[in-house]
Each structure stands twice: as structure tokens, then as C-alpha cells.
Amino acid sequence: MTEATAAPAPQALRPPRSQWRDVWDQFRTHKGALAGLSVFIFILLFVLVGPLIWRISPTASPTDALTLIRSKNMGPSWAHPLGTDQLARDLLARMMAGGKISIAVGLTAMSLSIFLGTLVGVLAGYFKRLDGPLMRLTDLFLALPLLPLLLVMMLLFRDPIASRLGVEAGTFLLIVSAIGITSWMQCARIVRGEVLALKEREFVLAAKSIGTPPRRMILRHILPNIMSPIMVAATLGIANAIITESALSFLGLGFPPDFPTWGRLLNDAVDLMQETPGLVIFPGIAISLTVLSVNYIGDGLRDALDPRIRGR
């Protein structure tokens, strides 16, 4: 008879919570990060869904000279909520088109730099023989003057690559790879440190003792455990890439004028800022808001992914 009383199911135990649920709960307590996330989602919607609603072409310009002169450099109106530029093109549509390119550059360049950084970091941290040479390479890259080199690379390779792959694809590829190969060093250093610490842990020893080959070791045991610093580096990498791209475009060495990016719009408008400050202000605000929101997301992620803070 006693067995029946000992049997009740352990209802007091709560259902298991996944790690990402915990991370999300901690992330929600960071007000700045939540605001940043909503602003970033809004900007993404503006850029991706916006052109479906606002159907004016970003490159459409009136064909006859009279309408062009009458409708250029206008202030905000119902027909053009943000006004028009020096060729009477609609600024709202150009902002959407430009944002798409700017954010695409940011995301792709970030992926490339994170991929390179993780690769170098894991190889240097896991294989002792590669550590010295790879870290010297990282130090060498850190000592390069990056902005001047980026400018030189853009100037020297823009036209040959553009003539081979087409203007838009060529410039995009060049900018993304130039930013990617000049910004992986921080990520590599962080990842190497994490891998070195992880290699001393018991579960790695256990996996090694049952004969796990290095490839599976890295992919199954090491990489999942260093995801959090990589994610933080990735968010901050987006901000960095967007700023670098717009700086290049601002200096006139990014995308050609027909492909509006936010930096390019800003560059085109600087000469006209006395008459139409709106042309300068709106792209600038778009860049700053995007970068600010991404930085806040990174800040919140860093807190949320740190188990020492999450416990509190």
C-alpha cells in the first residue's frame, strides 16, 4: 500500500527551459536593446516592404526639361514626402533603394568577416602549430592602415572588376570583400581566446578520448560553445561595415551615382546642403539610426549571452 503514495508524478518540476529562452528573457530586460531591435526591424521593413507600397521608381526623373526644373530640389510635399533631389527623383524611394544596398553590404561583409575571423581563430586556437603564424598574420593586419588601404583598393580595382562583372554586382562584390578582409582581426582574437580556454575543459578531453576526429571536434563541440562571443562580434560587425561602406561612398569611392546607397545620397547632397538640407539630413539620420540600433542590440546581446549576468 505504501507504493501508491510514493508514486505521484513530480509536478513541482517546471518544464525544461532552453538556453535561448533564457537569453531572450534577459535580453528583454535591456530597454535600450529592445528599442534598438524594434528600430532595426522597422528599418528592415521600411527597406524591404516599403518599395512594394511606395511604388515610385528611385531612378525615375522627368523627361522634359521644364518639369525637371520645376520639380527638382523640392521640399516635403504630399507627392514626395521627403522631397526630391537635384534630378527631381523621389527621395523616399531613393532612401528605400539605398537602404537595401547599404544593409545588404553590411550583412554580407559582416558574414565574410565573421567567417574569416572564426576560421582563423579556431585554427589558431585548436592547432598549436598554426597558432604562431596565424596570430602574427593577425597582428600584421592590425598594423595596416585600413581606411587608406580600403580607399586605394576601391580606386584601383573598381573599374576592372566593374567592367568584368557589371557595375552593380562588381562594386558590391569589391566593397563586401574589401570590408570583409580588413575587419576579421578582432573576431579572430576573441575566438582564439575562447577556443584556448575551451580546450582545457573536461568534455573536450572526454570527446578526444573516444577518438573524435578534429573536424567533428570543432564543428560539434567547440563551435556551438563559442557562439555567444561570435554573435556579439557579428552585431557590432554589421554596424562597422555599414559605417565603412557609407564612408567610402561619401568619399566618392563606393557605389557609382546611379546606385543610391545612404552614403552616396549623402555625398550627392553635400553640395546642395545650403538650399535643401533635407537631402543631407534624411540619409544621415538613416545611417545613424541603423548603426545606433545595431550597437544597442549588440550591447543587450552581450549582457544576455553572458551567463554571469544572466543569473542575476
Q: State the residues that interact with other proteins by CB under 8 A.
A: 32, 139-140, 142-149, 151-153, 155-157, 159-160, 239, 243, 246-247, 250-251, 253, 266, 270, 273-274, 277, 280-281, 284, 287-288, 291-292, 295-296, 299
Q: How far apart are CA 10 and CA 14, in angstroms?
A: 9
CB of 32: closest distance to other proteins in angstroms? 8
CB of 292: closest distance to other proteins in angstroms? 4
Instruction: List beta partners, residue 84.
Output: 90
CB of 202: closest distance to other proteins in angstroms? 30
CB of 87: closest distance to other proteins in angstroms? 20
185, burial (CB in 10 Å: exposed 0-12, middle 13-18, buried 19+): buried
CB closer to other proteins, 151 vs 223: 151
Phi first, then psi, for residue 11 (nearest 5°) are -75, -20
Q: What angle do CA 146, 151, 153 make, to 5 degrees?
A: 90
CB of 288: closest distance to other proteins in angstroms? 4
CB closer to other proteins, 46 vs 296: 296
Phi first, then psi, for residue 271 (nearest 5°) are -70, -20
CB closer to other proteins, 51 vs 106: 106
CB closer to other proteins, 30 vs 204: 30
CB closer to other proteins, 71 vs 240: 240
CB closer to other proteins, 139 vs 258: 139
In 3D space, the residue among 298, 289, 292, 266 whose CA is nearest the CA of residue 279 turns out to be 266
User: For residue 60, what is the DSSP state?
Assistant: -
Q: How far apart are CA 265 and CA 89, in angstroms?
A: 12
CB closer to other proteins, 181 vs 231: 181
Per the structure block, which three cell numbers stand in for 25? 528573457
Residues ≥6 apart with Cβ < 8 Å to 10: none
- Which DSSP string do the residues of 178-217 spell out, in sequence order? HHHHTS-HHHHHHHHHHHHHHHTSHHHHHHHHTT--HHHI
Q: How far apart are CA 17 and CA 14, in angstroms?
A: 8
CB of 297: closest distance to other proteins in angstroms? 12
CB of 19: closest distance to other proteins in angstroms? 27
Instruction: List beta partners, residue 90.
Output: 84
